[in-house]
Amino acid sequence: MSANLSPPTASETILELQHVTKRYGGLPAVDDVSFAVQRGEVLGVIGPNGAGKSTMVSLIGGSAAPTSGKVLFQGQAINTLPPHRRAHLGIGRTFQLTQPFTGLDIRENVMVGAFFGRRGLSRSQALHVADEVLARVGLAHKATLKGDQLTVADRKRLEVARALAMDPRILLLDEVMAGLTPAEVTDAIELIRSINRDGVTVLVVEHIVRAIASVSDRVLVLHHGRKIAEDTPDTVLSDPKVIEAYLGERYAKQKQAEKDPAQPASEWMEGLA
Ligand SMILES: Nc1ncnc2c1ncn2[C@@H]1O[C@H](COP(=O)(O)OP(=O)(O)O)[C@@H](O)[C@H]1O
Ligand SMILES: [Mg+2]
C-alpha cells in the first residue's frame, strides 16, 4: 500500500532512541535502550531510583550527550544538537531538580522558557504566553513572587509552565508530581490529559503509580539503565520482572508464594522507588 493510502489513524513515530547508552565514569546510567514514541501518545516511564530515567530525559532534551547510539526526533538525528536547537524543534522538558531564576519573578521565569523555545518572540508576546501557561498550571496568582518564594509543589508547577511556554510538540515531564497532595495529583493528571488532547505528545517519568497507570497509553520500565518492559500499564504493572525490579527478587518470590491477589501491585509499588 502506498503511503498516501495509509489510514489517517496510522501511528507515526515522533521520537526514537536507537541503542542509546550513556556512561558516567565507565558506569552505564542508560544502557543500550531502544524505543519509539508515537505522535499523540502518552508514554509513562517508571523505574527504581537510579534507574536512568532523568539521564534519559537529558539525552532527549540535549543537556547530556549519549556515549553511543542515536536519538531521532521526527526522523532527524539530534544527538549533537544543543538544547535550544532541540527546543526550537519542539522538545520541551522539565527538570527534576528545579532551579528557578531566583532574581526573576515567576512570570519572568516562564518568559525565559518562551524565549528559549520559540524564535522571534517579542516581549509582549512572551508576556502573553507566560500568563496563559501560568493560568493553566494554577500559578497565575503567584506570578509576581520571586523564584525562591515558591513551595516545592509550586516549583514543580513552574517547571511545567516553563516547558509549556516553549510550545512543545513533545513534552518530557520528570517527576513533576513529587510533593503534591493526592488532590493535586488528580489535578496534575487532568492537566497532562488536557495538554495531550491539544495534540502534544507526552513522555512522563513518575513514581506515583496511580498517575502513571491512569495517564499513560503505554509504560516503559527502566532498571539499572536497561529497558526491562514496555507495554500497556496493566501488563507492565503485573509483570513479575517489573515487580522484582521494585522489590528485589526475594520479596517477589515471597509474594508469589503467598499468592495474595488482594492488593494490586500498583498500590504497594508506590513509595518504594
Ligand atoms: N552527571 C552525572 N554524573 C555521574 N553520574 C550520574 C550523573 N547523572 C546521573 N548519574 C548516575 O546515573 C544513574 C542514573 O541516574 P538518574 O538518571 O538520575 O536515575 P533516575 O532518574 O532513574 O533516578 C545513577 O547511578 C546516577 O548516580
Ligand atoms: Mg530522576
- Please identify, among 167, 195, 210, the residue that sits at the C-terminal boundary of a domain: 167
> Are residues 178 and 112 both part of a single domain?
no
Q: What is the pLDDT of residue 268?
A: 54
> Are residues 61 and 154 both part of a single domain?
no
Specify the pTM: 0.89
> Are residues 84 and 186 both part of a single domain?
yes
Cα 53 to averaged position of ligand 2 atoms, centre (Å)? 5
Give a yes or no: residue 2 inside a domain.
Answer: no
DSSP 142: G
Ligand 1 pocket test: pick from 22, 24, 30, 172 the residue with the most ligand atoms within 8 Å of its Cβ: 24
For residue 233, give every residue at least 6 positions away whose Cβ sits within 8 Å of its Cβ, in sequence order, or none: 44, 212, 213, 214, 216, 218, 219
Q: What is the pLDDT of residue 210?
A: 83
Q: What is the pLDDT of residue 254?
A: 62
Give the span between the Cα atoms of 206 and 210, in whole angstroms. Answer: 10
- Please identify, among 148, 167, 186, the residue that sits at the C-terminal boundary of a domain: 167
Instruction: Name residues of the chain where pLDDT drops below 50.
Output: 1-3, 6, 271, 273
> Are residues 160 and 236 both part of a single domain?
no
In terms of residue numbers, what domain contains 211? 11-90+168-269
Cα 239 to averaged position of ligand 2 atoms, centre (Å)? 22
Q: What is the pLDDT of residue 270?
A: 57
- CA-nearest residue, atom 3 of ligand 1: 24
